[in-house]
Structure 1
Amino acid sequence: MLTIHHLGKSQSERIVWLCEELGLTYELKHYVRDPVTALAPPELVALHPLGTAPVISDGDLLLAESGAIVEYIIAKYGDGRLTLGPDHPDYVDYIFWWHYANGNFQPNMGRNMILRRLNVPADNPIAARLNGRLAGAFALIEKRLGNAPFLAGESFTAADIMTFFSLTTMRYFMPFDLTSYPSILTYLQRIAGREAYQRAMQKGDPGMPLLLT
């Protein structure tokens, strides 16, 4: 049995959503953040040396890192769904946005989140540079979604699953005003209308308001 060890308000929502999109049978184990540190509780930390979510178990396999987990599940259970092969005309866009999600965009959000929590002044040269990079990251996504309904092109893929967390739930930790990004806002509503996404969020984070505006 595939088991998802899910921490509320975390990147593990990607895995719940992926399994719902694929119609997989899985067990969902919920973990609650420490009320003081807001970090993963000891029982989740004990599962894997990384001490972070998501983690899955599948038989004797134990795997962390959301990107690795998404790739594993698609390869083993996806039957070619939610991915594009090298012969597809949108393949290059697919692999770019897949890797951009955690290779650039999410780290960008994280670095700016830390600066804000440290109350680094906005005119600090490092803060100004990182804020500029974050604005550029959103602008790049905005441009892409102004030209295509999904990040890889005409088809919804795992690249969208990888990216959506940073545009939505991550803004609980790193608030960002999307008023100036109409294509992103339209995209958020388009994705939020997917039944699999709605089921995943209800199962993984019931009652949590979704940041879709």
Structure 2
Amino acid sequence: MLSVHHLGKSQSERIVWLCEELGIPYELKRYTRDPATMLAPPNYKALHPIGAAPVITDGDLVLAESGAIVDYIIAKYGNGRLVLRPDDPDFAQFLYWFHFANGTLQAGMGRLMILNRLKLAEDNPMLVATRGRVDRAFDLVDARVRSADYLAGNTFTTADIMTGFSLTTMRYFQPYDLSRCPNVIKYLGRIGERAAYRRAMEKGDPDMALLLS
């Protein structure tokens, strides 16, 4: 049976959300971060050599990396749902935004989080450049969802599931003021109205306030 090993406040929320959107049977195994270090507990780190979330098991398979897991679940259990076909006019947009999530947005926020923890001077060139890159990434998302309901167009896809974490829960680790991105706030309002998203967050992180604005 498919098991989702969910570490609280982590990218593994994407996988819980995906399973809820698809309505497929799965076992949810929740893990709590160490209260002092905020890192994964030893029994989570032991699941996979990389020691990071997310991780799924499916029979004898152990798989990490959220993008790979999403692709695997869609290929095996999705029956063509939540993705666009190559002949769809928005197919290229779907591919771009699916990979933008971890390739640009999440990576930039992660770098900024680390630099902020180093307590660098405000005019440090690396810090200034990274902040600018993150701002441009958010601006790009804001522009996209000004003209489309969802990132791939007017259809909700796995691109939205991938990006949702960075726009919401990731801000617990790297705060970001969304007031400069009014269209992102409206977009997250649409996300927050999805029953599957609400179920996923209630099951995975029931005590966490959702950062939808």
Superposition TM-score tier, normalisation by shorter sequence: over 0.9
Aligned residue for 1:131? 131
Over 2 Å off, 4+ runs: none
Q: Secondary structure at the match of 1:145?
A: helix
What SS class does the counterpart of residue 179 from structure 1 fall into? helix
Corresponding residue for 1:30?
A: 30
CA distance in 2, matches of 1:163, 1:130: 19
* 1:1-213 matched pairs, under 5 angstroms: 1-213=1-213
TM normalised by structure 1 equals 0.99
Q: What's the Cα RMSD here?
A: 0.6
For residues 94 and 212 of structure 1, the distance between their equivalents in structure 2, rounded to whole angstroms, comes to 22
TM-score (norm 2): 0.99
Q: Percent identity?
A: 63
How many corresponding residue pairs? 213
In 2: Cα distance, 1:112 partner to 1:121 partner: 13
**CA offsets 1:48-97 (integer angstroms, 9 cap, x no match):** 00101110000111100010000000000000000011100000000000
Partners of 1:36 and 1:65 lie apart in 2 by 25
State how far apart, in whole Å, the 2-side matches of 1:75 and 1:184 are. 29
Gaps of 5+ in 2: none
- The superposition leaves residues 125-156 of structure 1 with CA deviations (integer Å, 9 ceiling, x where unpaired) of 11001010010000011110111000000100
Give me the whole-angstrom Cα distance separating, in 2, the residues matched to 1:25 and 1:52. 24
5+ residue gaps, structure 1, are none
In the alignment, the residues of structure 2 paired with residue 165 and residue 121 of structure 1 have an alpha-carbon distance, to the nearest angstrom, of 29
Structure 2 counterpart of 1:105, one-letter code: L
Q: Deviations over 1:178-199 (max 9, x none)?
A: 0011100000000100000000
After superposing the two structures, state which structure 1 stretch, 2-11 or 32-41, moved more. 32-41
